[in-house]
Each structure stands twice: as structure tokens, then as C-alpha cells.
């Protein structure tokens, strides 16, 4: 069973500028992984998707992988 990375490390807010953490939860096609694959709880999954979308809008992360 997977445990939430953010709950275990006591991370309250997910920062969209922290690209290294956000890349862990993207697959090879730069899509956001679902909670079953990533092991993130529901509340952090919602915050994670918002942070990834903000990082994509500011061109910190790609929308698609080539």
C-alpha cells in the first residue's frame, strides 16, 4: 500500500515553483498521474493538480512531452 508523500513529509502547501517534486507525479507523456499510481491522498491530489496546472501556465512544466 502506498502512502501519501505530502502527509508523510508534513507538507501543507504544494508549491507550483518546486518543479522537482511535481515531476515525480507526472508520467512519461507529462500527464498528471492518478491517485492510485501516485499514492497521494484525495486532498493533496487536488492541490497537486492545481500546482501542476499553474506551473504549466507559467511554462515551468510542459503541457505535453515530445
Domains of the chain: 5-57 (4.10.640.10)
Specify the pTM. 0.89
* Contact between 58 and 19 (Cβ < 8 Å): no
Residue 8 CA to residue 27 CA, distance in Å, equals: 22
pLDDT digits (tens, 9 = 90+) for 22-49: 999 999 999 999 999 999 999 999 999 9
Q: What are phi and psi of 25, to 5 degrees?
A: -105, 10
pLDDT higher than threshold 90 for residue 2: no
Q: Is 15 left (phi over 0), alpha (psi -120 to 50) or beta?
A: beta
Amino acid at each position: 500500500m502506498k502512502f501519501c508523500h505530502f502527509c508523510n513529509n508534513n507538507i501543507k502547501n504544494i508549491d507550483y515553483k518546486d518543479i522537482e517534486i511535481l515531476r515525480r507525479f507526472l508520467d512519461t507523456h507529462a500527464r498528471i498521474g492518478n491517485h492510485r499510481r501516485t499514492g497521494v491522498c484525495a486532498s493533496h491530489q487536488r492541490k497537486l493538480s492545481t500546482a501542476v496546472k499553474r506551473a504549466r501556465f507559467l511554462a515551468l512544466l510542459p503541457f505535453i512531452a515530445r
